[in-house]
Amino acid sequence: MILNEIISIIRDSRHIAILPHVSADGDALGSCFALGLALRRLGKDVHVYLEEEVPYVYSFLPGQEAAKVYPVETIKNHDVIIALDTGDLGRLGKRADIFGSSPVTVNIDHHATNSAFAGYNHVDTASAAVGEIIYQMLMLMGVKMDKDISTCLYVAIAADTGGFRFSNTTSVTHRIAGDLINNGIDVADISRKVFDSTSLAKVQLMGLAIHSLELLENGKVAVITVTEEMMQQSGAADEDCDGLVNIGRNIRGVEVAVLIKQKGSEEFRINLRSNTYVDVSAIAARFSGGGHRRAAGCTLQGTWKDAGSRLLAQIRDVL
Amino acid sequence: MILNEIISIIRDSRHIAILPHVSADGDALGSCFALGLALRRLGKDVHVYLEEEVPYVYSFLPGQEAAKVYPVETIKNHDVIIALDTGDLGRLGKRADIFGSSPVTVNIDHHATNSAFAGYNHVDTASAAVGEIIYQMLMLMGVKMDKDISTCLYVAIAADTGGFRFSNTTSVTHRIAGDLINNGIDVADISRKVFDSTSLAKVQLMGLAIHSLELLENGKVAVITVTEEMMQQSGAADEDCDGLVNIGRNIRGVEVAVLIKQKGSEEFRINLRSNTYVDVSAIAARFSGGGHRRAAGCTLQGTWKDAGSRLLAQIRDVL
């Protein structure tokens, strides 16, 4: 079992580097910080190299003492380097070089598309989050879990399962979450920070987005439009558009939700979601986009009058 | 152990009535339907008597064949009647009479304030939801859990823990949820129906509420105002105001969130929430209202100019 080999390697190493993917999310950061905390507890010299600063939402996570944004001059020689939640080398961004220069490389992930880019690859696609794999690894290593490690792992798992709501949530996910709660973590406080905390700009963008909401085709299609003016008016950042399309998708009776994001005068970024039967990836493909059956995207060129009516015609065809 | 006595009583009974509290929520309905399904499986004649129709959000729950809104003429004699999730007799509304007229009465609940109003009372305040107690009871009875029963219990538990996010969530909660998932329930579908499904009117009310949002006191106080005109414009119902106060509470930097709901020209219903240190129940008490430290409410009389400034003065005092 490759996980046992990885554990042996870690036991025999002293200088260890841990890398999450670029634009690190809750699972990547929580897993890296938890592993870092545990290995430092075992007397290891551990560094977590990040591509970007930790986003505000995860700034409360313990274990960030050893974490820093990657600057070449700080990189020392490591006995082993471990990539977490990283599907392929490209997802390490500028840090792919550090990874390649390490004598021993490890890749621990749960993406089915993982390219097995390391010397030792443990890819468990049944795990909802890499946090689940790190939990099992620390159990196998006999690490005593504390509140800090447990908080990191809980956030990793909660983030990648949408708070135990996505279809990747298994009975193992819940059993691990239950064990972590027994280590004294503050579920209500963590949940509020991860799921409920938002910026004023994002709330105001949401208000403007709702104001733009239109229901078409007897309420089966919901369209939300975000203009550059709305972005300026709310002071929102690009990432604040994340999730806006779900406002439309969640309305009862809606099958297809569309988010139109204006980029300049004749370019429109389109997000598509469906609820039960429409394959939105097929619609996106007509416009050189892609995605999954229930979530896809594409970019339209031209005037909105023209581009929008072509898009709506495609949607109307499959309703 | 009283739960074993209750199980014996149920085993020896044929005609069984089950009652949730008035304005039944996910825990009350899910628990009643799950218990009803299980007892019918054991050959019992089971009726679930409701005070009101099942809300749309829970209309997908299995086990509603035996459920009906209480009409006197349909009530038959029962060997035993079981109240679930019901803190006191008053919470049975018009059905308190049926309860009193039964030869054997059972009360299964998790509220610390439960008044032990039945002949047999099992109140487990450590349970996050009555759904957890019913799960344990069905295990003790050796009932084979299926997808329908599991769906009802999962909804009961998910609803009362805010999707495993409230502080009442324990390791037992997660262990039970994990077991229920093993019975084939569709977590993603259930979660979408329970947590994400909404009406167009509610979305539009949310948009208007955000438009009214004001931050005061250097962003520590968020105020949302809902006027009668906004209710008419959106077509929203009174219950659609639930949760609007959290839009303000969730904004970073906010300590106290206020929702002002206009009722007539000189009456205002106030909802108060706080995040970390302000005791909003003390503020509400100044205006003859009440609640908890982090969630409270009161009613103000007079012109808004006058009443509002008195309320804000109280809030400013404790910031």
- Return d(Cα A45, Cα B85) in angstroms, integer: 53
Task: Report in angstroms the alpha-carbon separations of B157 from A177, B26, B153, B162, B213.
Answer: 15, 8, 6, 8, 33
pLDDT in tens, B46-57: 999 999 999 999
| Residue B149 CB coordination number (10 Å) | 27
Report the C-alpha gap between B4 and B78 in whole angstroms: 20
Average pLDDT of the residues in B271-297: 93
Name the residue facing A251 among B169, B182, B203 (closest C-beta): B203
Question: In terms of CA atoms, which chain B residue is nearest residue A197?
Answer: B250
Output b/e per residue, B3-37; b: 16+ Cβ within 10 A: beebbebbeebeebbbbbbbebbbbbbbbbbbbbb
Contact A99, A81 (CB under 8 A): yes
All residues of chain B having their beta carbon less than 8 Å from the beta carbon of residue A246 are 196
Cβ within 8 Å, pair A164-B166:
no
User: For all residues of chain B together, what is the average pLDDT?
Assistant: 95
Q: Which amino acid is at B28?
A: A
Q: Give the closest-approach CA distance of B302 to chain A in angstroms.
A: 30
State the smallest CA–CA distance between residue A182 and chain B in angstroms.
6
How many Å separate Cα B152 from the centre of its chain?
15
The answer to whether A252 contacts B166, with C-beta atoms less than 8 Å apart, is no
Under 8 Å between Cβ of B70 and B49: yes
Per-position DSSP letters for A174-192, written without gaps between them: HHHHHHHHTTT--HHHHHI
User: What is the C-alpha to C-alpha distance for residues A206 and A216, in angstroms, rounded to an integer?
Assistant: 20
Rounded CA separation A5/A8 (Å): 5
pLDDT at res. B31 = 98
B-chain residue closest to A185, CA distance: B167
Residues A83 and A115: their CA atoms lie apart, in Å, by 12
Cβ contact (<8 Å) for A174 and B169?
no
| B198 closest CB neighbour out of A166, A175, A252 | A252
For B76, other C-beta atoms within 10 Å of its C-beta total 8
Enclosing H/E stretch for B48: strand B45-50
Neighbours of B54 (CB within 10 A): 18
Which pLDDT value is given to residue A265?
84
CA distance B298 to B310: 13
Is the separation of the CB atoms in A161 and A131 below 8 Å?
no
Of A188, A207, A275, the CB nearest to B207: A207
Query: Would you call A167 and B188 a contact, using CB atoms and an 8 Å cutoff?
Result: yes
Residue whose tokens read 């020896």: B12
The answer to whether A2 touches A133, Cβ cutoff 8 Å, is no
Token representation of residue A35: 């592993």
The answer to whether B179 contacts A171, with C-beta atoms less than 8 Å apart, is: yes
- Structure token pair of residue A77: 């020689």
**Dist. CA B140–CA A91, nearest whole Å:** 50
What is the per-residue pLDDT for A305? Answer: 85
Q: What is the pLDDT along chain A (319 residues), one digit of tens a residue?
A: 799 999 999 999 999 999 999 999 999 999 999 999 999 999 999 999 999 999 999 999 999 998 999 886 767 789 999 999 999 999 999 999 889 889 999 999 999 999 999 999 999 999 999 999 999 999 999 999 999 999 999 999 999 999 999 999 999 999 999 999 999 999 999 999 999 999 999 999 999 999 999 999 999 999 999 999 999 999 999 889 989 999 999 999 999 999 999 998 899 999 999 998 999 999 999 999 998 899 999 999 998 888 889 999 999 999 9
pLDDT at A180: 98
Looking at residues B43-70, what average pLDDT do you find? 95
Helix (H, G, I), strand (E, B) or coil at A297: strand
Give me the percent of chain B exceeding a pLDDT of 70: 99
Phi-psi region of B217 (alpha: psi -120 to 50; beta: other; left: phi over 0): left
| Option in A174, A191, A210 nearest B181 (CB) | A174
Q: Average pLDDT in the B58-77 region?
A: 87
Distance CA A148, CA A145 (A): 8
Nearest Cβ partner of B207 from A56, A197, A211?
A: A211
**Would the CB atoms of A179 and B163 count as touching at under 8 Å?**
no
**Tokens 């969130």 belong to residue:** B257
Nearest-CA distance A176 → chain B (Å) = 8
| Residues in A touching B205 (Cβ below 8 Å) | none
A1 Cα distance to chain centroid: 28
Contact A167 B175 (CB under 8 A): no
